[in-house]
């Protein structure tokens, strides 16, 4: 197993970053949604200033921006990662741990001995025998999504600043909040980045370059019943929880949920529910690779709500669907220059190229839609959003090598701003 020159730095950075709680919160209206995200953002500010980056600042919408000055004429490119971690699982009190020279077989967790991680659960472990792995302790996620991307970009930036003989154009860095709740890209960000094209480092297995994502909508169903004392409720009470159960049960269960779909198939996913007998709120995410399929699934959710409401006219049922992001392919396929540059950089690093659609989205989806082309590149993160999350330090090192090849390749790329 070939180690990279960046392994020690990447290990130290990820373990330090992962220990900081940066979980985002969809229920919060603030920007960023949680103040704890700024703890990591301010740490990055100090580190960027110390390593000699230029134009280092924290915007009023919570994004850390910095510049690595050019050493040659070429396209201005951006590198992006998000600091927040997913709300789906506990992210407080993360205790990152290093498994040096993984020898195969099962991995156990000191704070949750009932948990087990092995190649049968996560097949990529088979390719990582001899690697140095980082996991959490079993009761939290790790947060490699996307602190691995943060560590990769910071390591690449430090290397470029320390080695001005490496030819590259101007490099913009952006570390965003709230990606996990779909609010990481403020409308001001593309202009503030001021680059020709950009890349998120927010992917999985080594060699992956992605220019297709889901298109995504958010659905909120609210149900208001009739609240009556249960002792005198006959023919009067309308239980909102019962109606919520009917809504969920009436949706397609065998062909349109995350647990029954794969590949190019989209889904309707009930993500959260809250309330009581009088009032219930159900959150949904709606996903499809094509606009038509996304619209169809939204229509299904609305139709189910309408049918349940018709059957119980005393209740009030509303279904609000709002856009989140769209498949970046719609814009990137018009000019594949940034995608082809990333493909070449992956091959330069000695990796086999993998290009498949993401069953998810990135900040790059919104940036691309807003006019800044932004494909996605791997970090090595595995089993994200849960307690079995892990990453290979050597896979992260390969991502740094791709980033360095990428910025050098951009020296010969045509300036996309004309």
pLDDT digits (tens, 9 = 90+) for 97-121: 999 999 999 999 999 999 999 999 9
Counting Cα atoms < 13 Å in the Cβ hemisphere of 216 gives 23
Rounded to whole angstroms, how far apart are CA atoms 198 and 173?
A: 9
| pTM summary value | 0.92
Confidence check: pLDDT of 1 > 60: no
- Would you say residue 1 lies in a domain? no
For the chain, what is the largest distance between any 2 Cα atoms, rounded to a whole number of angstroms?
A: 82
| Per-residue pLDDT band at 253 (split at 50, 70, 90) | confident
Q: Are residues 22 and 80 in the same domain?
A: yes
Could you give the strand order of the β-sheet that contains 197-203, starting from the edge strand earlier in sequence?
54-58, 64-68, 171-176, 77-82, 197-203, 376-378, 209-210
| Per-residue pLDDT band at 354 (split at 50, 70, 90) | very high
- Would you say residue 2 lies in a domain? no
Backbone angles phi, psi at 313, to 5 degrees: -65, -15
Q: Are residues 231 and 82 in the same domain?
A: no
Of 301, 72, 267, 94, the closest CA to residue 170 belongs to: 72
What single DSSP character describes residue 245?
H
What proportion of the chain, given as a percentage, has pLDDT over 90? 94
Rounded to whole angstroms, how far apart are CA atoms 363 and 80?
A: 8
Confidence check: pLDDT of 230 > 70: yes
Domain total in the chain: 2
Rounded to whole angstroms, how far apart are CA atoms 54 and 245?
A: 55
Beta strands in 305-403 (DSSP E): 316-325, 376-378, 390-392
Rounded to whole angstroms, how far apart are CA atoms 102 and 100?
A: 6
- Would you say residue 333 lies in a domain? yes
Which of 281, 301, 325 delimits the end of a domain?
325
Q: Are residues 86 and 204 in the same domain?
A: yes
Rounded to whole angstroms, how far apart are CA atoms 355 and 334?
A: 17
The CATH number linked to 201 is 3.40.630.10
Q: Which of these is catalytic: 47, 179, 217, 312?
A: 179
Q: Are residues 140 and 262 in the same domain?
A: no
Q: Are residues 176 and 270 in the same domain?
A: no
296-327: pLDDT as tens digits: 999 999 999 999 999 999 999 999 999 999 99
Residues spanned by the domain of 295? 215-325
- Let me know: does 256 contact 200? Beta carbons within 8 Å: no
Q: Are residues 201 and 349 in the same domain?
A: yes
| Per-residue pLDDT band at 3 (split at 50, 70, 90) | confident
Q: Are residues 209 and 266 in the same domain?
A: no
- Would you say residue 418 lies in a domain? no
Which of 286, 309, 325 delimits the end of a domain?
325
Average pLDDT of the segment spanning 199-224 = 97
The CATH number linked to 308 is 3.30.70.360
Q: Are residues 79 and 197 in the same domain?
A: yes
- Would you say residue 186 lies in a domain? yes
pLDDT at 364: 95
Confidence check: pLDDT of 416 > 50: no
Q: Are residues 197 and 161 in the same domain?
A: yes
Confidence check: pLDDT of 157 > 60: yes
- Would you say residue 382 lies in a domain? yes
Q: Are residues 376 and 301 in the same domain?
A: no
Q: Are residues 206 and 232 in the same domain?
A: no
Which of 325, 340, 357 delimits the end of a domain?
325
**Average predicted confidence (pLDDT) for the chain:** 95
Q: Are residues 113 and 258 in the same domain?
A: no
Q: At what angle do helices 393-409 and 7-18 cross, to 10 degrees?
A: 110
What single DSSP character describes residue 254?
S
pLDDT at 418: 35
13-65: pLDDT as tens digits: 999 999 999 999 988 999 999 999 999 999 999 999 999 999 999 999 999 99
Rounded to whole angstroms, how far apart are CA atoms 188 and 183?
A: 13
Residue 179 among the catalytic residues: yes
Counting Cα atoms < 13 Å in the Cβ hemisphere of 94 gives 30
Confidence check: pLDDT of 417 > 50: no
- Would you say residue 129 lies in a domain? yes
Confidence check: pLDDT of 415 > 60: no
Contacts of 193 (CB under 8 A, 6+ apart): 65, 78, 172, 174, 372
Q: Which of these is catalytic: 7, 9, 84, 363?
A: 84
pLDDT at 214: 95
């Amino acid at each position: 197993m070939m180690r990279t020159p960046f392994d020690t730095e990447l290990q130290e950075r990820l373990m330090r970053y992962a220990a900081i709680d940066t979980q985002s919160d969809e229920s919060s209206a603030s920007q960023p949604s949680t103040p704890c995200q700024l703890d990591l953002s301010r740490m990055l500010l100090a580190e960027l200033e110390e390593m000699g980056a230029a134009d280092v600042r924290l915007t009023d919408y919570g994004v850390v921006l910095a510049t690595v000055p050019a050493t040659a004429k070429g396209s201005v490119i951006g590198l992006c990662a998000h600091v927040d971690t997913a709300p789906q699982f506990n992210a407080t009190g993360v205790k990152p741990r290093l498994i040096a020279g993984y020898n195969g077989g099962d991995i156990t967790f000191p704070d949750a001995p009932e948990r087990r991680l092995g190649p049968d659960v996560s097949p990529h472990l088979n390719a990582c025998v001899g690697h140095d792995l980082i996991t959490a302790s079993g009761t939290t996620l790790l947060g490699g999504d996307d602190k691995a991307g943060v560590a990769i970009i910071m390591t690449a930036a430090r290397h470029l600043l320390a080695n001005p003989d490496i030819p590259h154009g101007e490099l913009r860095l952006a570390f965003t909040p709230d990606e996990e709740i779909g609010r990481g890209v403020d409308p001001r960000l593309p202009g503030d980045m001021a680059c020709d094209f950009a890349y998120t480092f927010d992917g999985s297995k080594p060699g992956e370059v992605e220019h297709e994502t889901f298109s995504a909508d958010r659905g909120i169903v609210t149900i208001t019943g009739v609240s009556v004392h249960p002792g005198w409720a006959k023919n009067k009470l309308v239980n909102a929880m019962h109606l919520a159960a009917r809504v969920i049960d009436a949706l397609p269960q065998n062909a349109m949920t995350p647990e029954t779909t794969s590949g190019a198939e989209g889904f309707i996913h009930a993500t959260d529910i809250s309330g009581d007998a009088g009032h219930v709120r159900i959150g949904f995410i709606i996903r499809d690779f094509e606009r038509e399929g996304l619209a169809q699934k939204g229509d299904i959710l609305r139709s189910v709500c309408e049918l349940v409401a018709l059957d119980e006219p005393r209740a009030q049922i509303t279904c609000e669907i709002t856009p989140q992001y769209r498949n970046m392919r719609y814009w990137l396929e018009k000019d594949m220059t940034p995608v082809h540059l990333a493909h070449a950089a992956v091959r330069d690093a000695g990796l086999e190229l993998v290009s498949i659609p993401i069953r998810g989205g990135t900040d790059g989806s919104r940036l691309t839609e807003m006019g800044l082309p932004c494909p996605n590149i791997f970090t090595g993160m595995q089993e994200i959003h849960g307690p079995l999350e892990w990453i290979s330090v050597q896979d992260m090192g390969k991502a740094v090598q791709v980033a360095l090849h990428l910025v050098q390749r951009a020296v010969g790329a045509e300036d996309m701003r004309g």
